[in-house]
Amino acid sequence: MTARRYLTVGDVPALHRMSVEAHGGTPGLRDLRLLESAVMRPQSGYDSDIISEAASLGESIGRNHPFMDGNKR
């Protein structure tokens, strides 16, 4: 079995930049600590499968609003 590769604090802003370029919005990170918290959540061991881990990452980013215009995406 291949070890999971989790998104890093460096990966997620790159995805955000691509989203802003494609769909518009204000670029930039509002709070690094909130992003770090969201990125680490799937690695906590609470979720049992990769789908649940992906969902917890999405939920954490959505709830934490680490990016500018966080409520608009």
Would you kindly state where each structural domain of the chain is located, as residue ranges?
A: 31-73
> pTM score, two decimals?
0.85
Q: What is the pLDDT of residues 59-72, one digit of tens each?
A: 999 999 999 986 65
| Cα–Cα–Cα angle for 52, 16, 3, rounded to 5 degrees | 40
Closest of 1, 7, 3, 2 to residue 42, by C-alpha: 7
What pLDDT score was predicted for residue 4? Answer: 87
Q: What is the pLDDT of residues 2-58, one digit of tens each?
A: 888 999 999 999 999 999 999 999 999 999 999 999 999 999 988 889 999 999 999
What pLDDT score was predicted for residue 47? Answer: 84
What pLDDT score was predicted for residue 39? Answer: 98
